[in-house]
Chain A
Amino acid sequence: MSISAQKINHIYSKGLADQTVALNDVSFDINDGEFVGIIGHTGSGKSTLLQHLNGLLKPDSGRIFINGRDITEKGVDMMEVRRSTGLVFQYPEYQLFEETVEKDIAFGPLNLGLSQEEAKDRAAEALAMVGLEPCEVAQKSPFDLSGGEKRRIAIAGVIAMKPRVLILDEPTAGLDPKAHKEILDMIEDIHKNEKNITILVSHKMDDIARLCDKILVMEKGTVVMTGTPQEIFSKGEELQAMGLDLPEAAQLILELKKRGIEKDETVLTMEQAERTLLEVLDKC
């Protein structure tokens, strides 16, 4: 599985007074099994880009290859594209509608053409993957559950389609710290078990630094930086100039740097910060 975007352009309200360039010559490659993070301001084009990857939006120019096939060509079966690329929007619990949890999760698989039996099995599988007990929740109404559970069910609804690419737009938005951690751990587990491509859009740099193999930094509709977390977060000052945060550990080291205490390594995690500080303190 691979994704390749080549010079995608997308303009909203083309020809009208409020025309805006949402994507400007966006190009990038994602390889099989990668966990990719996309960071950038609200308005930098992240959401627009995500919707191109599962065919909800078509670029005005440029091409997108998913597993070698150009999905921007005419006549491409969108159902096929959505079979392989699952997109979880922000606040996905707002899309729940069925009478029971099982039926709601089965919606996706049924749309893909699976039988009722197969869809039910997928629903049970997906429930387990998101850490819920099928026998406990499957027959409940989704609206009887807590906010955190509803979110998991909404995510399960997409996972049940077994996408080779799982895209999540700020999956922890509005959640408290405990639920935040649980959802992220769940995403990490799913990534490891399914060995899929996971694309995570988030503002939480600590999560991005911890989970991602590769990061795309977006600003004003373009990809301004690509690289590993090490590479991206070493450019602390550039990111801050764009109004973007750094992982906590990196911010601490940047502060120390400003006070004259220089350390060469890029520090992203608590463990690395611990090690670096011990060195700094023992050194003297």
Chain B
Amino acid sequence: MLRDITLGQYYSGESWIHRLDPRVKIIATLLFIVEIFIINSFEGFATAFGALIIVIAASKVPLRFIMRGLKPIFLIILFTFIVNLFIVDGEILVKIWIFTITKEGLYRAVFMAVRLILLIIGSSLLTLCTKPMSLTDGLESLMKPFKIIGVPAHELAMMMTIALRFIPTLIEETDKIMKAQQARGADFETGNIFRRAKHLIPILVPLFISAFRIAQDMAMAMEARCYHGGDNRTKMNGMKFAKRDAFAALLMLLFLAVIILGRVFL
């Protein structure tokens, strides 16, 4: 199941999408998310799907990989669909016992489900085609203008970098702790949800302590390497805005225009 969470995973590649500046990709994703909530027509969603298919093709990430990412949220999509189906008032289509399905409800249900699907696929594409380090660099760069209002852009980016760096280490640590406790007879499989939650304490406490120890050590190591925040700090791998990024930005704006016009006139 863990392997099916594609959101956050990186799929190695050298496609056109992979090589875009991360800032362009982040803004494109954010715009896309806004757009799917602006769209309110079948034509609009069809356009959005079309655009997504083009991006998926350009990214050269296998379709099955992307579809796998929908598996964990399948239940959420289903739940949203059903709830919206039954709660909206309007022109009644079907009546089953005390439940009514209206035309508006059907539209709403379908649209919400489609929005969720587009949302997951769109966000997954961002992380699938952008290295974690590039993402944090991109976010840091985008947040820099907001430093004036007090957003600690560099610190947030550094926190993300270190967190990403330690995810595999902490997963390994959790595995070791679990095995050590299992060797002492701990049982993480049987029992109802309350019993199982209680059994998490022998894992969570050592894990937290490990995390604190790592943090202490890291702070010392970083200070020893002259880390003193973001001031006067250079970066070995800068981000360069290339022609393809300008092209992508243009396409992005065009798409936005289409969607807004679609909403206004359809």
Do A and B touch, yes or no (CB under 8 Å, in the complex)? yes
Q: Are A108 and B201 in contact (CB under 8 A)?
A: no
A35: Cβ under 8 A from any B Cβ: no
B206: Cβ under 8 A from any A Cβ: yes
Q: Are B205 and A97 in contact (CB under 8 A)?
A: yes
What CA separation (Å) do A95 and B186 show in the bound complex?
A: 12
Identity of the chain B residue whose Cβ is nearest the Cβ of A163 in the assembled complex: B183
What CA separation (Å) do A158 and B184 show in the bound complex?
A: 6
From the candidates A82, A92, A97, name the one contacting B201 in the complex (CB within 8 A).
Answer: A97
What CA separation (Å) do A143 and B209 show in the bound complex?
A: 10
Identity of the chain B residue whose Cβ is nearest the Cβ of A95 in the assembled complex: B180
What CA separation (Å) do A95 and B181 show in the bound complex?
A: 7
A85-140, CB < 8 A from B: 86-89, 92, 94-98, 107-108, 111-112
B185: Cβ under 8 A from any A Cβ: yes
Q: Are B177 and A95 in contact (CB under 8 A)?
A: yes
Chain B window 91-127, contacts with chain A (Cβ cutoff 8 Å), 1 for yes, 0 for no = 0000000000000000000000000000000000000
What CA separation (Å) do A54 and B184 show in the bound complex?
A: 10
Chain A residues with Cβ under 8 A from B186's Cβ? 107, 111
A51: Cβ under 8 A from any B Cβ: yes
| Number of residues from A at the complex interface, CB < 8 A | 24
Query: Given A96-B206, A97-B202, A107-B202, is A89 in contact with B183 using a C-beta cutoff of 8 Å?
Result: yes
Q: Are A89 and B185 in contact (CB under 8 A)?
A: no
Q: Are A94 and B185 in contact (CB under 8 A)?
A: no
Q: Are A82 and B183 in contact (CB under 8 A)?
A: yes
Q: Are B183 and A56 in contact (CB under 8 A)?
A: yes
What CA separation (Å) do A82 and B209 show in the bound complex?
A: 26
B41: Cβ under 8 A from any A Cβ: no
A161: Cβ under 8 A from any B Cβ: yes
What CA separation (Å) do A140 and B182 show in the bound complex?
A: 24
Once A and B bind, how many residue pairs between them come within 8 Å at the CB atom? 58
What CA separation (Å) do A247 and B210 show in the bound complex?
A: 35
Identity of the chain B residue whose Cβ is nearest the Cβ of A110 in the assembled complex: B185
B144: Cβ under 8 A from any A Cβ: no
From the candidates A96, A98, A111, A143, name the one contacting B185 in the complex (CB within 8 A).
Answer: A111
A221: Cβ under 8 A from any B Cβ: no
Q: Are B206 and A97 in contact (CB under 8 A)?
A: yes
Q: Are B184 and A161 in contact (CB under 8 A)?
A: yes
A229: Cβ under 8 A from any B Cβ: no
Chain A residues with Cβ under 8 A from B173's Cβ? 94
B179: Cβ under 8 A from any A Cβ: yes
Chain A window 155-176, contacts with chain B (Cβ cutoff 8 Å), 1 for yes, 0 for no = 0011001000000000000000
B89: Cβ under 8 A from any A Cβ: no
B196: Cβ under 8 A from any A Cβ: no
Q: Are A108 and B184 in contact (CB under 8 A)?
A: yes
Most buried by B among A54, A94, A95: A95
What CA separation (Å) do A73 and B23 show in the bound complex?
A: 56
Chain A window 41-60, contacts with chain B (Cβ cutoff 8 Å), 1 for yes, 0 for no = 00000000001001010000
What CA separation (Å) do A83 and B185 show in the bound complex?
A: 8
A224: Cβ under 8 A from any B Cβ: no
What CA separation (Å) do A87 and B179 show in the bound complex?
A: 10
B14: Cβ under 8 A from any A Cβ: no
A79: Cβ under 8 A from any B Cβ: yes
What CA separation (Å) do A86 and B184 show in the bound complex?
A: 7
Instruction: Report the minimum CB–CB distance from B182 to chain A (whole Å).
Output: 6
Instruction: Report the minimum CB–CB distance from A112 to chain B (whole Å).
Output: 5
Query: Given A94-B176, A95-B177, A143-B209, is A54 in contact with B183 using a C-beta cutoff of 8 Å?
Result: yes
What CA separation (Å) do A22 and B126 show in the bound complex?
A: 36
B155: Cβ under 8 A from any A Cβ: no
Q: Are A108 and B202 in contact (CB under 8 A)?
A: no
B43: Cβ under 8 A from any A Cβ: no
Instruction: Report the minimum CB–CB distance from B197 to chain A (whole Å).
Output: 15
B187: Cβ under 8 A from any A Cβ: yes
Chain B residues with Cβ under 8 A from A89's Cβ? 176, 179-180, 183
Q: Are A51 and B179 in contact (CB under 8 A)?
A: yes
Q: Are A112 and B206 in contact (CB under 8 A)?
A: no
Identity of the chain B residue whose Cβ is nearest the Cβ of A105 in the assembled complex: B184
Q: Are B205 and A87 in contact (CB under 8 A)?
A: no
Chain B residues with Cβ under 8 A from A107's Cβ? 181, 184-186, 202
Chain A residues with Cβ under 8 A from B179's Cβ? 51, 56, 89
Instruction: Report the minimum CB–CB distance from A96 to chain B (whole Å).
Output: 7
Chain B residues with Cβ under 8 A from A111's Cβ? 184-187
What CA separation (Å) do A220 and B148 show in the bound complex?
A: 58
Offer 21 A-B interface pairs, CB within 8 angstroms, sorted by A.
Answer: A51-B179, A54-B183, A56-B179, A56-B182, A56-B183, A79-B187, A86-B183, A87-B183, A89-B183, A94-B173, A94-B176, A94-B206, A94-B209, A95-B180, A95-B181, A96-B206, A97-B205, A97-B209, A107-B184, A107-B202, A111-B184
Residues of B within 8 A of A (CB): 173, 176-177, 179-187, 201-202, 205-206, 209-210
Q: Report the 10 A-B pairs with minimum CB-CB distance, sorted nearest first.
A: A111-B185, A97-B205, A95-B180, A108-B184, A87-B183, A89-B180, A97-B202, A97-B206, A82-B185, A112-B185
Residues of A within 8 A of B (CB): 51, 54, 56, 79, 82-83, 86-89, 92, 94-98, 107-108, 111-112, 143, 157-158, 161
